[in-house]
Amino acid sequence: MTPVFSSELLLALLREGAASPVERCGILRGEGARIVRADATANVAPDPARHFEIDPAALLAAHRDARGGGAGIAGWYHTHPGGRPDPSPTDAAQAAADGMLWLIVGHRTARLWRAVADGAVHGRFDPVAFTVELPNRVEKKCLAVHMEDGERTVSFRPSRIAPL
């Protein structure tokens, strides 16, 4: 299934990433292929300027909510302040090969990854094409979403452009 995001959700995450000098993080919540929300959590990493760790209490609460009928946990998001929207070696070392989605925001760009065994990036991640629903159209096979300066223009890069 191709993950589906609303443009509003992606724009909110791009703004969050652009506004913070430390790594922000949270939980992607979904219903089927649709990512319906991104729950921001505290970053409890000892060095949040360079690493992220989702607050365990927030993670447990999300699991309880999902078991109670709320949106499921589709994956995670975090920002790379001043960095690219690509997984770092640290991300790879911390990721389980569990098929979860990782949305990474950096340089005003968001990219989606899946944590897998023997991934193309650092042996742990494969890029994931996704769909973005806008008010007047749908953009399919996006590999990245970029927010221009001024936060008014969002551009899409279709998957026919080669990944890293």
The length of the chain, given as a count of residues: 164
- CA–CA–CA angle 86, 51, 80 (5° rounding): 35
Alpha-carbon torsion, ordered 85, 89, 94, 96, to 10 deg: 80
What's 11's DSSP letter?
Answer: H
Record the tokens describing residue 107, joined without a space. Answer: 């340089």
For 150, residues 6+ apart whose C-beta sits below 8 A from its C-beta are none
DSSP three-state, residue 64: helix
Q: Which helix (H) or strand (E) holds 13?
A: helix 7-19
Q: Which of 8, 23, 53, 133 is catalytic?
A: 23
Computed on alpha carbons and rounded to an integer, the radius of gyration of the chain in Å comes to 15
Catalytic residue flag (residue 53): no
The residues annotated with a catalytic role in the active site are 23
